[in-house]
C-alpha cells in the first residue's frame, strides 16, 4: 500500500527507538517513504530483478548486508530512482559506506527484533499516517496508547490475547527489559513471565475489568506496572488483550485506574472495528475477488485500484494451517515482486491479485520463493495455490473460488497436495476429494457390500483398496502390503466370493473404489 506525505524521519519516530536507530541519512530525513519490500537470500543469489520505484525502503532478511547493497546497486544504477532507506540488523561499515554512496539511508534494527513485528509497525505507519490530524481517529491503537501515556505519565503497550504487541507509546530511557523485549516481538525473560504467572495476574486480567497492580522487582529489572484486560462486548464478553502501563521515575496520575478502565473500553471498540471493517482499498479488492458486496463494478474497481481491468493476470492464495497467515509479510513480498500487486486477507487466508504478469512459471517461482523464505527465516508453515493465467479482473472471483477449493481439500488431506501448487496440478486430487466427500455424506451412495466387508474383515477391505489402486497388479499390491503374491491372490478370491461379483468389471471396480475411500474417511 502506498501513501503520500510520510517522511523517513516520521517513520523512524513511529517505529520507536526501541526498534530502530538511524545510522546515516545522506539525503536527509524528509525523503518520502510510501512502500516497503524485503530482500532475501534468494533475491540476491538468483539475481532476481525489481522494478525501479517498486519500494522506497527495503528490509535485508537473511542475507549479508554487503551482498544486498551490491544487489541494490545493480538494480537501481542509472535509473534515477534510488531507495530511500535499507533496514538491516547490525550493519557493517562497508555496507553503510556503499549505501551512503548510493544515496540510501541506513537504519539499524535491534538484533533481537522480530522482522514480522517490524513489518506490521511499518505498514501501520503507512496506513495511518495523517489520521491524528483528521476527524476520524477511532481505529488507531497507537494514538490511544500515546494518549494513555500522556494522561498517566507512564509507558503504555497494548497486546492481543496471545501477548503480541499491537501498539505502544513512545519509549524513554526508563523502559525496562520486559517492555523492550515485548516491543521487539520477543517473549519476556522466562523468570519475569514465570513470576507474573505465579501471582495469577494473567488469570485476573482474563476474568474481568479490574485493574491489576504488579509490584516492582528490582532483582529482575522489572519496574512497577499496572494492567487491565480488554474484553469485547457481547452476551459472553471475550478476552481480547491487555493494556500494560509501566511506571517510570515520575509518579503516575492519581486517577490512573479510572483512566485505564476507560482505555480498555475504547481499545475494545477499536479492536472490534479493526476486525470487522477493512480499509476501503482492501474492501475493493475483496469485491473483485467475490468476497464482499454483491458483485463488483470491474471498471470502477480497476480505476480505483489503479490497475488494468483486462490482460493476463494471476491470483495466488496463501494459507497457514494455524490460521495465522501473515498478511503484512506477504504484502511486502508481493509489492516487491509486482508494484501493482493487490493484497487482501480473508478468514485466515491471504490473496495476492496480480493484474498483469508474464508466464505462469514466473508466478509459481515467486510463490515458492515466498513460502521457502518465510519457512527459513520466520519458521512459518505456509501453503500457496496459484491460478494463472487469469483473464482480467472479471475472472478473479472465479479463480478465487477455485483456489479456495484447493485449500479446503488440503485441509482434509494435507499430504495429498504440495505446499506450493497450481490449479492444474491439484485438479485431480481436488475433484476426487470432493466426489468422495459427496459420497461419504450420502450413505445411500455407498455400496452396502463395502460397509459389510469393512465390518466383517477390515484386512480384506484394505487389500481390496490396494488391489483397486494398484490396477490389479498382484506383485505391486503384495509389495505394498508386505505379503506374498499368493496371499494377495487368495484374498482377492475371498473378496470376490464375499461380494458376489468379479473384480474384472470396470463399473464394479469404480463403485467399490469410491465406497472404500468414502468409508475410510
Give tens-digit pLDDT for 475-489.
988 988 899 989 989
The helix or strand, by DSSP H or E, that contains position 312, with its residue range, turns out to be: strand 312-319
CA gap 345, 478 in Å, rounded? 48
At 240-251, the pLDDT tens digits run 899 999 998 889
Q: Is the pLDDT of residue 1 over 50?
A: no
Residue pLDDT, tens place only, 123-166: 777 776 654 444 344 557 888 888 899 889 999 999 888 777 88
CATH number at residue 120: 3.40.1390.20
Percent of the chain at pLDDT > 70 equals 90
What cell numbers appear for 507 in the block? 463399473
Structural domain includes residue 247: yes
List Cβ neighbours of 89 (8 Å cut-off, separation of 6 or more): 60, 108, 109, 110, 111, 113
Query: Do the bridges between strand 420-422 and strand 383-391 make them parallel or antiparallel, or are there none, so unpaired?
Result: parallel
- ∠ CA 246-249-250, rounded to 5°: 90
Q: In the listed set 250, 276, 302, which residue is the last one of a domain according to the structure?
A: 276
Strongest mean pLDDT among 86-90, 166-170, 416-420: 86-90
Helices and strands of the chain, counted as H and E runs: 21, 15
Domain limit, last residue, from 435, 463, 487: 435
pLDDT exceeds cutoff 50 at 396: yes
Pairwise CA distance, residues 113 & 389, whole Å = 38
Mean pLDDT of 369-379: 81
More confident residue, 5 or 197: 197
Q: Which three cell numbers stand for residue 200?
A: 495469577
**Is residue 18 pLDDT above 70, yes or no?**
yes
Residue 136 lies in a domain: no
Q: Which helix (H) or strand (E) holds 243?
A: strand 238-247
* 17 lies in the same domain as 108: yes
The full DSSP string for 147-199 is HHHHHHTEEEEEEETTS-EEEEPPP-TT--HHHHHHHTTPPPPHHHHHHHHHT
Contact 385, 317 (CB under 8 A): yes
Which pairing describes strands 105-109 and 85-89: parallel, antiparallel, or unpaired? parallel
What's the grid cell of residue 494? 475371498
Is the same domain home to 381 and 396? yes
Task: Give the span between the Cα atoms of 357 and 491, in whole angstroms.
Answer: 55
Do 63 and 165 have their domain in common?
Answer: no
What is the per-residue pLDDT for 135?
35
What is residue 104's predicted lDDT score, i.e. its pLDDT? 92
Alpha carbon distance 183, 187 (integer Å): 9
Query: Looking at the domain assignment, is residue 1 inside a domain?
Result: no
Q: What is the pLDDT of residue 406?
A: 92
Residue 377, C-alpha cell as written in the block: 527465516
Per-residue pLDDT tens over the stretch 198-232: 777 888 888 888 999 988 888 777 889 999 999 98
77 and 18 both lie in a single domain: yes
Residues 425 and 322 occupy one common structural domain? yes
Whether residue 151 lies inside any domain: the answer is yes
Q: What is the pLDDT of residues 279-288, one digit of tens each?
A: 677 888 999 9
Which of 186-195, 238-247, 389-398 has the least mean pLDDT?
186-195
Give dist(CA 137, CA 149) in Å, integer. 17
Q: Which of 141, 205, 217, 206 is nearest to 178 (CA)?
A: 217
- Return the higher-pLDDT residue of 313 and 128: 313
SS3 413: coil
pLDDT digits (tens, 9 = 90+) for 405-417: 999 888 887 777 8
Are residues 295 and 366 part of one domain?
yes
Q: What is the CATH number of the domain that holds 493?
A: 1.10.10.2840
* Residue 459 CB-density burial (10 A; 0-12 exposed, 13-18 middle, 19+ buried): exposed
Domain count, the chain: 4
Which range of residues forms the domain containing residue 487?
A: 442-519
Helix 65-76 crosses helix 93-102 at what angle (to 10 degrees)?
10
When the pLDDT of each residue in the chain is averaged and rounded to a whole number, the result is 83
Backbone angles phi, psi at 89, to 5 degrees: -85, 130
Instruction: Give SS3 for 264.
Output: helix
* Cα-Cα-Cα-Cα dihedral sign, residues 49, 51, 54, 55: positive
Residue 2 has pLDDT above 60, yes or no: no
State how far the Cα of 121 lies from the Cα of 117, in Å rounded to an integer: 6
Q: Which span out of 49-53, 56-60, 105-109 was modeled with the highest average pLDDT? A: 105-109
- What is the predicted pLDDT for the residue at 46? 67
> Residue 369 is part of a domain; what is its CATH number?
3.30.70
Q: What is the pLDDT of residue 69?
A: 86
234 φψ region: left (φ > 0), alpha (ψ -120 to 50), beta (else): left
**Distances in Å between the alpha carbon of 429 and those of 299, 316, 434, 472?**
35, 19, 9, 21
Q: How far is Cα 126 from Cα 328, in angstroms, rounded to an integer? A: 12
17 and 101, same structural domain? yes
pLDDT at residue 167 is higher than 50: yes
Residues linked to residue 87 through DSSP beta bridges, in sequence order: 59, 107
In this predicted structure, which of 17-21, 93-97, 192-196 has the lowest mean pLDDT?
192-196
252 secondary structure, DSSP code = P
* Alpha carbons 517 and 521: distance in angstroms, whole number: 7
Residues 55 and 36 sit within 8 Å (Cβ to Cβ) = yes
Are 428 and 289 in a shared domain? yes
Q: Is residue 199 part of a domain?
A: yes
Whether residues 53 and 72 fall in one domain: yes
Distance CA 16, CA 124 (A): 13
pTM beyond cutoff 0.85: no
Both 296 and 221 in a single domain?
no
The verdict on 387 and 428 lying in the same domain is yes
Q: Report pLDDT for 364.
A: 92
Residue 135 within any structural domain of the chain = no
Q: Which three cell numbers stand for residue 148?
A: 494513555
Per-residue pLDDT tens over the stretch 421-473: 998 888 888 888 888 888 888 889 888 888 888 888 889 988 898 988 888 88
Asked if residue 4 lies in contact with residue 128, where contact means CB atoms within 8 angstroms, the answer is no
* Cell numbers placing 294: 454483491
Cβ atoms of 132 and 143 closer than 8 Å: yes
pLDDT band at 47 (very low <50, low <70, confident <90, very high): low
**Does 382 share its domain with 514?**
no
In the listed set 226, 257, 276, which residue is the last one of a domain according to the structure? 276
Percent of the chain at pLDDT exceeding 90: 21
Q: Could you give the angle at which helices 458-469 and 448-456 cross, rounded to 10 degrees?
A: 130
* Cross-sheet strand order for the sheet of 165-168: 165-168, 154-160, 238-247, 225-232, 212-214
Amino acid at each position: 500500500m502506498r501513501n503520500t506525505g510520510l517522511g523517513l524521519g516520521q517513520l523512524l519516530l513511529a517505529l520507536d527507538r526501541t526498534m530502530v536507530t538511524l545510522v546515516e541519512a545522506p539525503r536527509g530525513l524528509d525523503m518520502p517513504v510510501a512502500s516497503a519490500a524485503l530482500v532475501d537470500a534468494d533475491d540476491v543469489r538468483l539475481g532476481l530483478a525489481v522494478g525501479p520505484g517498486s519500494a522506497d525502503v527495503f528490509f535485508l532478511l537473511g542475507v549479508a548486508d554487503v551482498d544486498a547493497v551490491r544487489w541494490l546497486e545493480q538494480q537501481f544504477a542509472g535509473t534515477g530512482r534510488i531507495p530511500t532507506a535499507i533496514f538491516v540488523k547490525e550493519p557493517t561499515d562497508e555496507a553503510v559506506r556503499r549505501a551512503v554512496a548510493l544515496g540510501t539511508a541506513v537504519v539499524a534494527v535491534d538484533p533481537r527484533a522480530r522482522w514480522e513485528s517490524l513489518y506490521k509497525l511499518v505498514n501501520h505507519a503507512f496506513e495511518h499516517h495523517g489520521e491524528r490530524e483528521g476527524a476520524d481517529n477511532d481505529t488507531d491503537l497507537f494514538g490511544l496508547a500515546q494518549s494513555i501515556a500522556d494522561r498517566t505519565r507512564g509507558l503504555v503497550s497494548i497486546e492481543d490475547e496471545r501477548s503480541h504487541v499491537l501498539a505502544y507509546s513512545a519509549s524513554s530511557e526508563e523502559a525496562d527489559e520486559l517492555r523492550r523485549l515485548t516491543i521487539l516481538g520477543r517473549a519476556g525473560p522466562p523468570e519475569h513471565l514465570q513470576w507474573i504467572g505465579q501471582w495469577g495476574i494473567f488469570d485476573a486480567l482474563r476474568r474481568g475489568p479490574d485493574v491489576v497492580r504488579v509490584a516492582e522487582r528490582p532483582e529482575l529489572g522489572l519496574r512497577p506496572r499496572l494492567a487491565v484486560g480488554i474484553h469485547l462486548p457481547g452476551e459472553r464478553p471475550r478476552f481480547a488483550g491487555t493494556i500494560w502501563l509501566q511506571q517510570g521515575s515520575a509518579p503516575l496520575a492519581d486517577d490512573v485506574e479510572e483512566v485505564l478502565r476507560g482505555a480498555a473500553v475504547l481499545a475494545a471498540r477499536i479492536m472490534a472495528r479493526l476486525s470487522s471493517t477493512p480499509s476501503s482499498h482492501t474492501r475493493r479488492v475483496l469485491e473483485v475477488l467475490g468476497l464482499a458486496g454483491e458483485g463488483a463494478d470491474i471498471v470502477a474497481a480497476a480505476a480505483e485500484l489503479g490497475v488494468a481491468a483486462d490482460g493476463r493476470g494471476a491470483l495466488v492464495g496463501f494459507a497457514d494451517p494455524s490460521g495465522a497467515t501473515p498478511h503484512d509479510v506477504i504484502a511486502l513480498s508481493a509489492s516487491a515482486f509486482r508494484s501493482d500487486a493487490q493484497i487482501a486477507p480473508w478468514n485466515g487466508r491471504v490473496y495476492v491479485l496480480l493484474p498483469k504478469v508474464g508466464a505462469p512459471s514466473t508466478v509459481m517461482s515467486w510463490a515458492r520463493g515466498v513460502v521457502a523464505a518465510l519457512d527459513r527465516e520466520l519458521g512459518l508453515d505456509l501453503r500457496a495455490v496459484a491460478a494463472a493465467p487469469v483473464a482480467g479482473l472479471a475472472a478473479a472471483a472465479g479463480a478465487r473460488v477455485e483456489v479456495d477449493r484447493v485449500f479446503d481439500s488440503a485441509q482434509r488431506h494435507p499430504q495429498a497436495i504440495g505446499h506450493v501448487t497450481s490449479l492444474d496440478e491439484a485438479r485431480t486430487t481436488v475433484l476426487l476429494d470432493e466426489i468422495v466427500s459427496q459420497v461419504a455424506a450420502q450413505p445411500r451412495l455407498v455400496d452396502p457390500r463395502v460397509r459389510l466387508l469393512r465390518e466383517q474383515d477390515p484386512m480384506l477391505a484394505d487389500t481390496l483398496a490396494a488391489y483397486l489402486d494398484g490396477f490389479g497388479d498382484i506383485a505391486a499390491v503384495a509389495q505394498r502390503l508386505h505379503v506374498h503374491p499368493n496371499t494377495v491372490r487368495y484374498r482377492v478370491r475371498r473378496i470376490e466370493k464375499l461380494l458376489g461379483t468379479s473384480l474384472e468389471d470396470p463399473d464394479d471396480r469404480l463403485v467399490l473404489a469410491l465406497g472404500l475411500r468414502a468409508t475410510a474417511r
